[in-house]
Chain A
Amino acid sequence: MVAQRVRAARPRARTVAQTWSGVAAVLLLAEVAARTGLLPRRYFPPVTEMFAELGRQTTETSFWSAVGQTLQGWALGLGIAAAFAVPIGMLLGTSAVRYRAFRVIIEFLRPIPSVALVPLAILVYGVGLESKVFLAAFAAFWPLLIQTLYGMQDVDPVALDTARVFRLGRVERLTRVVLPGAVPYVATGLRISSSVALILAVTAELVIGSPGLGREINAARVGGATDLLYALIIVTGLLGWVLNALFAAGERRVLHWHPSQRGAR
């Protein structure tokens, strides 16, 4: 048992090393390029200084409240999107008639870039949190709706026949046969929608000036604080990465039975 652990640990250590060696190389290259003047210092400070600024920021309460405001927009936007998209997807996905009736509307609304709704959002909701949430929710709604629809339609016909021949009731058929099969799709939809909601939250802060990381980034540009500008950009990237990792971990737990996750138990 112990011997096995050790043997399993070594390749793992190696993959971790491989993963980070690429990151280290890029960071080092950027640092050298900035220090040697290969990149103009005014627009591209050395990486170490960006991270030093980031370190300083983590001690500021204003920084954390900006992070909190962005996350708030993300969470509310994604939550509202999910609260609508999943039930609507279930309703439309279980009936060909309903699907046909609403398909054109969906196909029309879906390609609208959410950013095009910024003026409308300002008009209706002003420049605060509500606008941000509205934009994030609108953008996050579509991937989740489409994934839920696909999931409801991609049920194995043999599984459906099994439900019919053993005379499962409507509720049982839905909760035990149709929905579990749709969960992988909904999970993927959630992960995509989460990224989209974060992007739109930051966009709203940048464009409208709702409080949050996006507005801080704009302020840093206006104030000529290039280090801070980069530090904040790095933070938005880290946020996206952490949220994605959380969703992936959630998927692994919920979908332990799914072919894509079976090895991971």
Chain B
Amino acid sequence: MLDVSGLSKTYGEGERVTHAIAELSFSVAEGEFVCVVGPSGCGKTTLLRCMAGLLAPTSGRVTLRGHVVDGPPEQIGFVFQEYSRSLMPWLSLRDNIALPLRHKALGRDERNRLVEDAVESVGLTGFMDHYPWELSGGMQQRVAIARALAYQPEILLMDEPFASVDAQTRADLEDLVLRVRTAYGVTVVFVTHDIDEAVYLGDRVVVLTPPPTAVQEVLPVGLPEPRDQVETKELPEFAHLRAHIFRSIKRKQPDAPDLPTPT
């Protein structure tokens, strides 16, 4: 459904040139949950912004159902890594979440219901009339997630959305995203630097190399559904997968000892 082919992105020129992404190709199937892991600064945000049509790639392209993405498609919802800057400080939670819905052809009741459902699912009922800056960082992040959910996208692109919440909230939000995904059949591309999270959530994990960035490997996860915070993480396959990704990333680092490549 969403294909990234031969994508590369270079920022700046001359002395200050940054080759953020050397060359990347992978595809995301309809309804799939794909996690992208990679070290900090390897171009995960850059990749996601290209996929959302917010950034033009230097070469290569992103296609959505065969159409080249050259601007934000309406099927895509986005959760920004800089979540607090993506919320408008002059709008209450209600208005922030309703902001992208205003131009959709929805009745007022329908719109209110979407907003309320989304807020309830991230556990912020009762903060509807607060302003974002009256909330903690983790709560703001949940607002950004609620806004993307209320938008009812076919594809949800999430850029390290759980980076600043505590472990318990994080687990709850992970399960929330999994539930939403099953309930609405949303396709999810989820960027994280947390290998456990990638394995727990994903149908497949795309492992990126450190810069110059390329795809290190694409790993099918194949853990039983539905995932469970305790049981899934106890499975030997889970431990296996995360160890494999750890080694895979480590192998790429220059100072890492040579290990036999698993086939």
- Interface residues of chain A, those whose CB is within 8 Å of chain B, are 156, 158-159, 161-162, 164-169, 172, 176-177, 180-181, 183, 257-259, 262
Bound complex: CA A143 to CA B151 (Å)? 41
Chain B, 225-251, contact with A by CB distance < 8 Å: what is the 0/1 string? 000000000000000000000000000
**B108 at interface, CB cutoff 8 A:** no
Bound complex: CA A13 to CA B78 (Å)? 51
Whether B89 pairs with A167 at a CB distance below 8 angstroms is: no
Q: Which residue in chain A gives the minimum CB-CB distance to B102?
A: A172
Bound complex: CA A167 to CA B53 (Å)? 11
Bound complex: CA A117 to CA B85 (Å)? 45
Query: Smallest CB–CB gap between A156 and chain B, Å?
Result: 5
Given contacts A162-B80, A262-B133, contact A167 B100 (CB under 8 A): yes
Which residues B37-66 have CB closer than 8 A to chain A? 49, 52-54
**B182 at interface, CB cutoff 8 A:** no
Cβ 8 A contact of B82, one of A158, A177, A180: A158
Whether B151 pairs with A166 at a CB distance below 8 angstroms is: yes
- Interface residues of chain B, those whose CB is within 8 Å of chain A, are 49, 52-54, 71-72, 74, 76-78, 80, 82, 85-86, 88-91, 99-100, 102-103, 131, 133, 147, 151
Given contacts A161-B54, A172-B102, contact A180 B88 (CB under 8 A): yes
Dominant secondary structure at the A interface:
helix
Please give me the 10 A-B residue pairs with the lowest Cβ-Cβ distance, nearest first.
A166-B100, A158-B85, A180-B90, A162-B86, A165-B78, A257-B90, A165-B72, A158-B82, A257-B89, A158-B86
Query: Smallest CB–CB gap between B19 and chain A, Å?
Result: 22
Whether A159 pairs with B86 at a CB distance below 8 angstroms is: yes
Cβ 8 A contact of A159, one of B76, B88, B100: B88
Query: Smallest CB–CB gap between A37 and chain B, Å?
Result: 59
Query: Smallest CB–CB gap between B81 and chain A, Å?
Result: 9
Cβ 8 A contact of B85, one of A156, A183, A257, A258: A156
Bound complex: CA A156 to CA B54 (Å)? 15
Bound complex: CA A172 to CA B99 (Å)? 9
Cβ 8 A contact of B88, one of A161, A164, A176, A259: A176
Whether A166 pairs with B99 at a CB distance below 8 angstroms is: yes
Whether B76 pairs with A165 at a CB distance below 8 angstroms is: yes
Q: 22 interchain pairs (CB within 8 A)?
A: A158-B80, A161-B49, A161-B80, A161-B86, A164-B71, A165-B76, A166-B77, A166-B78, A166-B99, A166-B147, A167-B74, A167-B100, A167-B103, A172-B99, A172-B103, A176-B88, A181-B90, A257-B89, A257-B131, A257-B133, A259-B133, A262-B133
Whether A176 pairs with B99 at a CB distance below 8 angstroms is: yes
CB neighbours (8 Å) of B88 from chain A are 159, 176-177, 180
Query: Smallest CB–CB gap between A130 and chain B, Å?
Result: 39
Bound complex: CA A176 to CA B89 (Å)? 11
Q: Which residue in chain B gives the minimum CB-CB distance to A262?
A: B133
CB neighbours (8 Å) of A180 from chain B are 88, 90
Bound complex: CA A163 to CA B218 (Å)? 32
Q: Which residue in chain A gives the minimum CB-CB distance to B55?
A: A161
CB neighbours (8 Å) of A156 from chain B are 85
Bound complex: CA A10 to CA B202 (Å)? 60
Given contacts A177-B88, A180-B90, A257-B131, contact A165 B52 (CB under 8 A): yes
CB neighbours (8 Å) of B133 from chain A are 257, 259, 262
Query: Smallest CB–CB gap between A217 and chain B, Å?
Result: 43
Bound complex: CA A176 to CA B99 (Å)? 8
Query: Smallest CB–CB gap between A264 and chain B, Å?
Result: 14
CB neighbours (8 Å) of A183 from chain B are 90
Given A162-B86, A167-B100, A168-B103, 11 more pairs with CB closer than 8 A:
A161-B80, A161-B86, A164-B71, A165-B52, A165-B54, A167-B103, A168-B102, A180-B88, A183-B90, A258-B89, A259-B133
